[in-house]
């Protein structure tokens, strides 16, 4: 059987739906066509996979066949050619082995206190009795955490400059702009793309200066931030990362780890506000058993990255369909996590389903799986729990709007359209 059919919608309406109402489009296609369907996306057609077993086959399949790096190529001007996200095959595995240890284990546990401090300092500046959007606050907090714990920057001029420049780099829509190669005209720095790239180069300057200074400072071995650990790491051949490669991995960790975690947190508050039992239990005991349950359920119902993409290097059979080389295959995290067989009431926020019960990896996969599973998953999960708990230890925000927020596309993530508005 060739590629699976598309839902009964014109290609134009599929593309528009993907931008404007992606959840409704995916649910409709799944109901109309089945667990494998084709959708016409703005980047071209993709074969969506909703069946958890098929998705696992793709995640654990031959990485030389299911290539992820190629699909991320439009991000190269920002990430740089050495970015983990752009590599495939043995190169990718070698780089992953360098990046994983600094983001795991004991080192991670030592970072909780800094996460608490950064969160508490931000909460102290929140308005009282006036509605405000939580999502931008969460982005401030997750950016602060990355600058401190991944980049290793203490408060100071370099920290402030990067914070300002990253805020300009990542506003609503800038990522979309960067993804449209036709708009990439610098025009001497006057076009949007020109300003965007000028900002990227300024960031490069700051990062390369920081790397050079740290090499000279002599305290590299004592430092515990991710950059310092990467600077002292070597691959199997004893080769350390070069400065440009370090720069590319820092940008990669920032882009992959900043908005995803902020979005997860914004949804968690938005959903929690509307579940009285879970909210009351968490308020009474912010570090108690509901913490894991609420975080897991928020990531199940609203995964920040609803799909991931692979490109087939050779003709391959996927879910019984014979697909030619070059086909985009899209394991759909969103639909697998709403699988009605695996989850009772799959479209409802029910954290109680995970009280004392660990999520099943087959149908709970917000961090993907296999050889490209999120390298920041442990870091993100610690951050998710620590920020949520610390906020609730200090204040008791409530939903500012009676109607639940709905998902809207924000660069690569689906985040709350109104920003998860709250009042303290």
Could you tell me which residues come within 8 angstroms of residue 217 by beta carbon, excluding any fewer than 6 positions away?
A: none
Using CA atoms, how far apart are residues 263 and 118, in angstroms rounded to an integer? Answer: 17
Q: Is 222 helix (H, G, I), strand (E, B) or coil?
A: helix
Of 33 and 79, nearer to ligand HEM (C-beta) is: 79
Among 52, 368, 397, 419, binds ligand HEM (CB under 6 A): 368
335 binds ligand HEM (CB under 6 A): no
Among 379, 397, 412, 414, binds ligand HEM (CB under 6 A): 379
Q: How far is the CB of 171 from ligand HEM (least distance, A)?
A: 20
Give 252 or 363: the residue with its C-beta nearer to ligand HEM.
252
Q: How far is the CB of 118 from ligand HEM (least distance, A)?
A: 14
276-284 vs 290-301: helix axis angle to the nearest 10?
Answer: 140
DSSP letter assigned to residue 187: G
Closer by beta carbon to ligand HEM, 106 or else 276? 106
Question: What is the length of the chain?
Answer: 424
CA distance 7 to 28: 8
Which runs of E-coded beta strand occur in 185-231? none
Nearest residue to the partner ligand HEM, using Cβ: 376
Is the CB of 4 or the CB of 369 nearer to ligand HEM? Answer: 369
Contacts (CB under 6 A) with ligand HEM, residues 382-411: none
Q: Which of 4, 7, 304, 416 binds ligand HEM (CB under 6 A)?
A: 304
Binding mask 257-296 for ligand HEM (x = CB under 6 A): x--xx--x--------------------------------
**Min dist. Cβ of residue 256 to ligand HEM (A):** 4
Q: Which is nearer to ligand HEM, 84 or 323 (CB)?
A: 84
List C-alpha distances in Å: 285 to 89, 146, 278, 390, 397. Answer: 46, 27, 10, 11, 16
Choices 120-128, 181-189, 275-283, 369-377; region in contact with ligand HEM by CB under 6 A: 369-377
**Helix, strand or coil, per DSSP, at residue 171:** coil
Backbone angles phi, psi at 112, to 5 degrees: -60, -45
List the Cα angle 97/101/106 in 5-degree steps.
165
Instruction: Find the binding residues for ligand HEM in span 197-256 (CB under 6 A).
Output: 252-253, 256
- Select the span of 119-127, 128-136, 321-329, 374-382 touching ligand HEM (CB under 6 A): 374-382
Binding to ligand HEM (CB under 6 A): which residues in 62-101?
68, 84-85, 96
Crossing angle for the helix pair 112-123 and 377-394, nearest 10 degrees?
40
User: Measured from the CB atom, is 269 or 367 closer to ligand HEM?
Assistant: 367
Which segment (127-135, 338-346, 372-380, 399-407) binds ligand HEM by CB under 6 A?
372-380
Q: What token pair was written down for 133?
A: 């959007």
Give how many residues touch ligand HEM by CB under 6 A.
Answer: 25
- What is the SS3 assignment for 318? strand
Which residue number, 256 or 291, has a Cβ lying nearer to ligand HEM? 256
Which of residues 420 and 424 has its CB atom nearest to ligand HEM in the complex?
A: 420
Among residues 55, 80, 40, 27, the alpha carbon closest in space to that of 249 is found at 80
Nearer residue to ligand HEM within complex by CB, 25 or 85 = 85
Rounded CA-CA distance 363/360 in Å is 6
Residue 70 tokens read as 């190629």
Which of the ranges 165-173, 191-199, 314-322, 363-371 carries the binding residues for ligand HEM, by CB under 6 A?
A: 363-371
Closest CB to ligand HEM among residues 144, 304? 304
Per CB under 6 A, contacts with ligand HEM among 120-179 are 150
Closer to ligand HEM by CB, 49 or 400: give it: 49
- The CA–CA distances, whole Å, from 103 to 108, 213, 333, 377, 400 equal 6, 23, 23, 9, 36
User: How far out from the chain centre does Cα 304 lie?
Assistant: 6
Contacts of 164 (CB under 8 A, 6+ apart): none
Question: First-to-last CA distance in the chain?
Answer: 56
Minimum separation from the CB atom of position 207 to ligand HEM (A): 16
**For 149, which DSSP code?**
I
Yes or no: say if 350 and 297 are a contact pair by the CB < 8 Å rule. Answer: yes
Enumerate binding residues for ligand HEM (CB under 6 A).
68, 84-85, 96, 103, 150, 252-253, 256-257, 260-261, 264, 304-305, 308, 366-368, 372, 374-376, 379-380
């Amino acid at each position: 059987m060739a590629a699976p059919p598309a839902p009964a919608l014109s290609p134009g309406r599929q593309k528009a739906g993907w931008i404007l109402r992606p959840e409704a489009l995916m649910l409709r296609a799944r109901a109309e066509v089945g667990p494998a369907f084709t959708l016409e996306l703005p980047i071209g057609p993709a074969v969506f996979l909703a069946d958890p077993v098929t998705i696992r086959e793709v995640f654990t399949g031959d990485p030389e066949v299911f290539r992820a790096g190629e699909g991320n190529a439009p991000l190269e001007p920002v990430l740089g050619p050495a970015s983990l996200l752009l590599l495939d095959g043995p190169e990718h595995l070698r780089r992953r082995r360098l990046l994983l240890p600094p983001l795991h284990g004991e080192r991670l546990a030592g970072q909780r206190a800094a996460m608490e401090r950064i969160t508490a300092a931000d909460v102290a500046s929140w308005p009282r009795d006036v509605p405000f959007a939580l999502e931008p606050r969460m982005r401030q907090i997750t950016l602060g955490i990355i600058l401190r714990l991944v980049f290793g920057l203490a408060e100071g001029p370099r920290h402030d400059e990067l914070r300002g420049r990253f805020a300009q780099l990542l506003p609503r829509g800038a990522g979309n702009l960067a993804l449209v190669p036709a708009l990439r005209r610098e025009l001497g720095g006057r076009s949007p793309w020109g300003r965007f790239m000028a900002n990227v180069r300024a960031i490069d300057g700051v990062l390369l200066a920081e790397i050079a200074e740290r090499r000279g400072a002599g305290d590299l071995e004592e430092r515990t931030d991710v950059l310092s650990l990467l600077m002292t790491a070597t691959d199997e051949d004893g080769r350390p990362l070069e400065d440009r490669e370090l720069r590319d991995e820092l940008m990669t960790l920032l882009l992959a780890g900043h908005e995803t975690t902020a979005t997860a947190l914004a949804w968690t508050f938005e959903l929690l506000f509307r579940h009285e039992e879970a909210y009351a239990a968490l308020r009474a005991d912010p570090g108690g058993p509901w913490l894991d349950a609420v975080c897991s359920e928020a990531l199940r119902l609203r995964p920040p990255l609803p799909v991931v993409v692979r490109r087939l290097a050779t003709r391959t059979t996927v879910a019984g369909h014979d697909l030619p080389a070059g086909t985009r295959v899209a394991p759909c995290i969103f639909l697998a996590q709403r699988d009605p067989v695996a989850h009772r009431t799959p479209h409802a926020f029910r954290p109680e389903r995970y009280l004392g019960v660990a999520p099943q990896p087959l149908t709970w996969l917000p961090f993907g799986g296999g050889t490209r599973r999120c390298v920041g998953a442990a870091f993100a999960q610690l951050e998710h729990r620590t920020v949520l708990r610390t906020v609730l230890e200090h204040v008791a925000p409530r939903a500012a709007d009676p109607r639940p927020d709905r998902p809207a596309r924000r660069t690569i993530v689906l985040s709350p359209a109104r920003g998860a508005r709250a009042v303290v």
